[in-house]
Chains A and B, each alone.
Chain A
Amino acid sequence: MLKTLGNRLQKLFTKDRDTEVPSLDTAAVEELQLTFKARYYSFRQLLTANTKTLESMAEIEKALQGYEPFSFSFVQKACGTVSINVFSMIQHMENIAPGKYGALRESFASIQSRIDALLRQKKELSDRRLVIPLEAVTSEMTDVVGGKMANLGDVKNRLQMRVPAGFVITAAAHELFMNTNGLQKEVDRLFQVAGSDLDRNLDLVSSQIRQLILSADVPEPIYNAVIAAYEKLKQQHGGQEVRLAVRSSAHGEDSENSSFAGQYRSELNVNFDQFFHFFKQILASKYSPQAIAYKINKGFRDEDIAMCVGCLAMVDAVAGGVVYTRNPLDRRDDNIYINSTWGLPKAVVDGDTLCDLFVVARDEALTIVREEIYDKAFQVICYEEDGCIRTETDADTAKLPSLTEGQIRELADAALQIEDYYESPQDIEWAICSDGTIYFLQSRPLQQMEASLPADELNLDRFAASLLTDNGINASPGTASGRVFKVSKKVDILQFPEGAVLVVEQALPTWAPLVARAAAVISERGGFAGHLANVAREFGVPAIFGVTSAMDMAENGELVTVAADLKRVYLGSIAPLLEWKRPELTPMKGSPIYELLQQASRHIIPLNLIDPESRDFQPQNCTTFHDITRFIHEKSVVEMFNFGKDHHFSERSSKQLHYKVPMNWWILNLDDGFIHEVQGKYVRLEDIASIPMLAFWEGFVAIPWDGPPAMDGSGMTTILFRSTMNTALVTGSQSKYADRNYFMISKNFCTLSSRLGYHFSTMEAMVSERAVENYLGFKFKGGAADYERCLGRLRFIQEILERYGFRASINGDNLDARLEGRRIEYMLERLKILGYLTLHTRQLDMIMGNSAHVKYYMKKLTDDIDQILAGQHTCAV
């Protein structure tokens, strides 16, 4: 399409020149305008989708830090938002460059199918039995009998410790119960209706679901299987009726990262006549308000939690409690903590009464190092018929230790065996019956806390004199120390020392390769959602962005300590900060939802395509969505920039700028670049609505040009020689010094092809209130002097542009500078700089052999620019 358009335009222009009759081909102009609008529109949409994608990726990374709870719907939404926006970017890229990057769709489809497969994953039960006797249960059966009963199965069957006889009603039974009654569909529907308002409607939704479960019938196969299991239990107890402890054993319960402690219901001393009533109560407790909230906060999918139910012969305990194999409040304390009271351990578990504490050392003799005996005025005991009762303890007994020394050591010894078996600290519930036998009722991983260490406790005030900065944003958490190394040019990358603190003005993807080698990253600008922040988090490198005057904060080689969490940078090595280990308060880590997001993120977050110059920078090499966004972003800018280069127009299809006098500047209105319809040959500055063009022009005319710099004999010789050798330097019938400049404009966009003397420059800018879409590109080429001097001028201009925040690079005899995503005021100021430079760098190549002249012009130009930016020069011509 573009080629056809080009041919049509070519024809148009040729005809114009040949016939010398002004015949404005409005159809061709209309075509050009349409092409422009379509590309311009797609480019803007593409940039918006890119930003949205990066924001979603940042949300995913933040979630993966594990500090904040998130639900399955978050995972769906975050991954979905990324997919949709990446796909949108591909569609817009295809509009900008039709047929050129077809492989992107294949890469997208491949990545998307892998994410789909993860999100659709549903667990298949490995055992369809409805009831399993406890003596057949082991810890490998977690998905069949739930975590609590699986653990207890090991204690009974592998460790051969005393555990009451019993059976487990399995996950398959739960599934059958929910499906037989059409309950699961109704539950799903109720959750879906509540949607994102679930928090507010928690009580209502919980009550509706629990009512459904309680009023449903127990399916016959479950009923029969339970009766059969109970009959066997009776046989084990000499044919006597057995009262039961009926306990929840849901998926995820009592696992390493989620205990679900107290979230579900358990019933003690249940008479079998009442069993199915309590069975349904326990199934319904999966949907108690606190259980729903906990499930969301700990990252479980509702459909992944089957409520298994453990049924154990009730132990009529005279004493009971909990053993912690280590101090739950202090990781460094490895003593065994036994909490004990009279009666059932329920009193200890529920925390409703004072209980005795026995602390046992982990030595050979299991020395009791501490005893705290309290007045245990109340206890919970089995009621004669069924159920439990809280009753007063006999006054004399209340103050006695609830355990003998022998029992304490027996418990400690068993606890250590269990801990040893599971290879992790344990929280063990136990009971002692009237004959003194100890029964173990539950064992689960012990959650140990580590105190978080806020800045106050570190007493950082004493380092106040060393504080270099305390502003910016925490782009990647952590604390690290290293020597400052400032990077502002690509060449600096080669010299970056391993383990240094990378300090940059802008958090550009260009610096990504340095992150893995850096101790920390500090940037004056950049946000949490940027590529560099993503990379820093991926590598676990602390980073603070948005630090005012970061580049001036310390000298290269100075040792600094970066505390990203506190957004502080200190001079020197601050030991308390570096010794501070991050508290592991990461409730989400290890949860199924967390694992799911982590797996999905592997197809989204990692950035493999970093270097656009690399041969591997190809659409087919995109293996993550981040790669696709990086690739498209890079290429879209190039494609957009080429618009001005690919599309030329004749003076006759445009208007000549009349600025005081007719100028050698021609303007083609692509869309809404003029304030109103302009008749005739000329357009005046006051008729122009193009924001970027007006800013450029303001810079262009701000300070009059002093004329060509004085050149030496060799400079003049070179010009004459180059003019004869390089026909590109000759502009047809025009004088070779003539200026030919073409603007294509809309209100927020302009592209400029400029030829001033012997140099060519192109500029393209998109500037509006939507900072995310703002973009400025500038290319500069040519010169009449020899190659070295031309290159000298390019370096000269590069230095100025970099000084004012541009990213600039030189390839061959081309200078390429870029700026994007900044606010409108900043962009307009940079356009003024380009306007100024376009005029004032002409013929500066001629003086590049003279360092004094170079120095003089560098000072003059930057002083001028500073004055323009300070508003001290406006329209001096």
Chain B
Amino acid sequence: MILQDDMEKQTKFKVLLVDDEEIFREATARQLRVRGFAVLTADSGETALDLVRTDPPEVVLLDQEMPGMHGSDTFIAIKEINPLIEVIMLTGNTSVENALELMKLGTFDYLMKPVNIDELLYKVEDAHARKQLNERKQQRDSNSTT
């Protein structure tokens, strides 16, 4: 029983990593997996949205500059599908104006590449904590209305 509990504790939540840059995507995914996260990856905004619909993650790490569907549009689409999913934007070339706009719309945070892996892990965990908090609030609100 104790062993099973420990096993369960070791499997952390699901993270979706979206980046068209394969080397960064795979290296970061590997580091997240080593630290116990279940990691899904997508190389475009479109693929990411499919995954959000079919296999929803807790937290999304989303590259801002991608060919095709831009990171900002992907973020808005993710929030439309599931407002509770937390999104951390990753960028190599930030327009502060854009970043601030997205923060007002509810991105969890904005990290600049190259990303420090420890900082990224903290952010992912913090984003998950916020998601859990918002879920509890939502649960509370639905209880109070019923």
Contacts and interface: CB of A to CB of B under 8 A. Distances in A.
Interface in A61-93: 73, 76-77, 79-81, 83-84, 87-88, 91
Contacts of B136: 34, 37
A424 B138 CA distance: 71
Contacts of B97: 116
Interface stretch (A38-46, A554-562, A658-666): A38-46
Contacts of A76: 93-94
Contact of A34 (B100, B110, B137): B137
Given A34-B140, A77-B112, A88-B109, A83 B129 contact: no
Contacts of A110: none
Nearest to B89: A84
A45 B103 contact: no
B52 to A, nearest CB: 24
A41 B129 CA distance: 8
Nearest to B112: A77
A195 B64 CA distance: 14
A48 B122 contact: yes
Contact of B133 (A34, A83, A84, A88): A34
Given A88-B103, A91-B103, A196-B114, A44 B126 contact: yes
B140 A84 contact: no
B92 interface: yes
Contacts of B114: 196
Nearest to A91: B103
A170 to B, nearest CB: 31
B134 to A, nearest CB: 9
Nearest to B110: A84
B25 interface: no
Contacts of A370: none
B140 A79 contact: no
Contacts of B133: 34, 37-38, 41
A115 B140 CA distance: 42
A612 B96 CA distance: 30
B113 to A, nearest CB: 7
A192 interface: yes
Interface string A20-52: 000000010011001001100100110010000
A387 B94 CA distance: 47
A87 B100 contact: yes
A76 B92 CA distance: 11
B103 A31 contact: no
Interface in B86-108: 92-94, 96-97, 99-100, 103
Contacts of A669: none
A83 B100 contact: yes
B64 to A, nearest CB: 12
Q: Bin the interface of chain B by size.
A: 20 to 34
B130 A41 contact: yes
Nearest to B134: A38
B34 to A, nearest CB: 18
B117 to A, nearest CB: 15
Interface SS of chain B: helix
A474 to B, nearest CB: 23
B140 A196 contact: no
A83 B96 contact: yes
Contact of A80 (B96, B122, B129, B140): B96
Contacts of A84: 94, 96, 99-100, 103, 110
A196 B113 contact: yes
A770 interface: yes
A112 interface: yes
Contacts of B96: 79-80, 83-84, 112, 115-116
A49 to B, nearest CB: 9
A31 B140 contact: yes
A80 B94 contact: yes
A112 B113 contact: no
Interface string A80-115: 110110011001000000000000000000001001
Interface string A204-233: 000000000000000000000000000000
Nearest to A33: B136
Contacts of B103: 84, 87-88, 91
A115 B122 CA distance: 29
Contacts of B140: 30-31, 34
Contacts of A192: 93
A195 B93 contact: yes
Nearest to B102: A84
A44 B133 CA distance: 14
A115 B109 CA distance: 21
B72 to A, nearest CB: 15
A76 B97 CA distance: 12
A723 to B, nearest CB: 44
A97 B144 CA distance: 24
Interface string B110-135: 10111000000010001001100100
9 nearest A-B pairs in the assembled complex, by CB-CB distance: A80-B96, A80-B94, A195-B92, A83-B96, A84-B110, A84-B99, A37-B133, A87-B100, A77-B112
19 contacts: A30-B140, A31-B140, A37-B133, A37-B136, A38-B137, A41-B129, A41-B130, A73-B93, A76-B93, A77-B112, A80-B96, A80-B112, A81-B112, A84-B96, A84-B100, A84-B110, A87-B103, A88-B109, A195-B93
Interface of B: 92-94, 96-97, 99-100, 103, 109-110, 112-114, 122, 126, 129-130, 133, 136-137, 140, 144
Given A44-B126, A84-B110, 10 more contacts: A34-B140, A41-B126, A48-B122, A73-B93, A80-B112, A83-B99, A87-B100, A88-B103, A88-B109, A195-B93
